[in-house]
Amino acid sequence: MERGSRESFTRMGTLGIEEECFVVDDDGRPTSGTDELVYEHDPPEILEDRLDHELFKFVIETQTPLIETPDDARDSLLEIRRALVEHAEAHGYRIAAAGLHPLAKWRELEHAEKPRYRSQLDRIQYPQHRNTTAGVHVHVGVDDADKAVWIANELRWYVPIMLALSANSPYWNGFDTGLQSARAKIFEALPNTGMPTHFEDFETFDRFERRMLETESINDRGELWYDVRPHTAHGTVEVRTPDGQADPEIVLAFVEYTHALVEALAEAYEDGTSGHRHRRELLDENKWRAIRYGQDAAFIDRDLDGTVDLGELVDRECERLGIDGIKDVYERESGADRQRRLLEEDGPDALCESLLL
C-alpha cells in the first residue's frame, strides 16, 4: 500500500504545475485520443513520464518538471504546452482547455481502460461516469510536514478566490448550468472532494490518510481529491481548485498567487501565528458563491464579520503579497462570460476555437 511520509517535506518554495486538457478533433470537438498519444506513440522527450490520461479518453494531463524558482515557471509551462500541442498535431489531434468542454456529452464519450479508473467507475458509479472535468493543480514545496498541514488549513479560505477568478465552465453536457464553474460542482459529487476539514498536525492527517487506505475507502493516496491537500509523496502543498484554462497567462497568475500565499503562510507559521479554525460550512458557502457567481462573488470575510467583494479582495491580496497576475485576470472578461458571449454571438464553432491551446 503506497504511502507518503513526513520525510518527503524537505524543500521550500519549489513548484510543479499539472494541467488537465482536452483532446479534440479538427473542429475542436472532444474525441478519444489518449490511447494514441499516451501509449501508442512516444511523446517528445520533455513529456516522458509527464504525460498521462484521465478518466475519459479525451482528457489528458501534463506535469511540469520540478521548477526551482517562480521565475522559471513561465518557460517550463510554455515548453510543456508546446510539446503537448506538437505531439497531438503530429497524430491528427488538437488540444483545448476549460473546466468542462462545453460540447462534451459524457454518455457519448469513452472511459479509459486503465485498471485504476475501472476500479473507480465500479466503486463510485454515476458521479464518476459523468466526470468530464479538467482542472489546474499547483504544487508548492514545503520543508516541514507540520508546517505543510498548517498552510493547507489556512489556504482553505483562499480557495474560493481562486475558483471565482478561474471560473470557466458554464456549460455541461450541452446545456447552460447557470453556474460560472459547473466543473467544481460536478467534481464535488465524487467522494473525498471539496473543502477539507481542519487537521491538527501532520500526524492527524497521516492517520486519516492511513485509515482511508486501510478501510479501502480509497485505493491510493491520490484519491483524496480535496481542493487543497498536503501531498505526502511530493512534499508539497497542492492547490487543486482552478478550472482548466486555454490561456497560459491565467494559469501563471494562479501559480504566482499560490506560491506567494504559501511563502507568506510559511513565514506566519514560523512566527508562531495562531491558525484560523474556520468551520467548513462557512468555507463551503464561500466556495458556493464562487461556483455560482464567479467574478461577481462577494465572500464572507476572513474574520467572518461581513462580506467583501472579489475585486476588493484581489486588490488587497496583490498589495499584501506584491503580486499582480490575479488583478489582470480579474480585470479581463471572465472565462464563463466569454464562453457565453461567444456561443451567443458567433456559435459553437467559435466557442470551440476559443478553447484551443
Q: Which domain holds residue 75?
A: 6-354
Segment 195-199 shows an average pLDDT of 96
Is residue 129 a part of any domain in this protein?
A: yes
Number of structural domains the chain divides into: 1
On the question of pLDDT at 1 being above 60, the answer is no
Amino acid in the structure at residue 191: P
Q: How far is CA 18 from the centre of its chain?
A: 8
Total-model pTM: 0.95
Segment 80-100 shows an average pLDDT of 97
Is residue 27 a part of any domain in this protein?
A: yes
Segment 15-21 shows an average pLDDT of 98
Closest CA to 261 of 250, 269, 272: 269
Query: 271: domain CATH number?
Result: 3.30.590.20
Is residue 140 a part of any domain in this protein?
A: yes
Q: How many H helices and E strands in the chain?
A: 14, 13
pLDDT digits 0-9 by tens, 118-162: 888 888 899 889 999 999 999 999 999 999 999 999 999 999 999
pLDDT digits 0-9 by tens, 34-75: 999 999 999 999 999 999 988 899 999 999 999 999 999 999
Is residue 1 a part of any domain in this protein?
A: no
Q: What is the mean pLDDT of the chain?
A: 95
pLDDT digits 0-9 by tens, 254-298: 999 999 999 999 999 999 999 998 889 999 999 999 999 999 999
Is residue 275 a part of any domain in this protein?
A: yes
Banded model confidence at residue 18, pLDDT cuts 50, 70, 90: very high
Contacts of 247 (CB under 8 A, 6+ apart): none
Is residue 346 a part of any domain in this protein?
A: yes
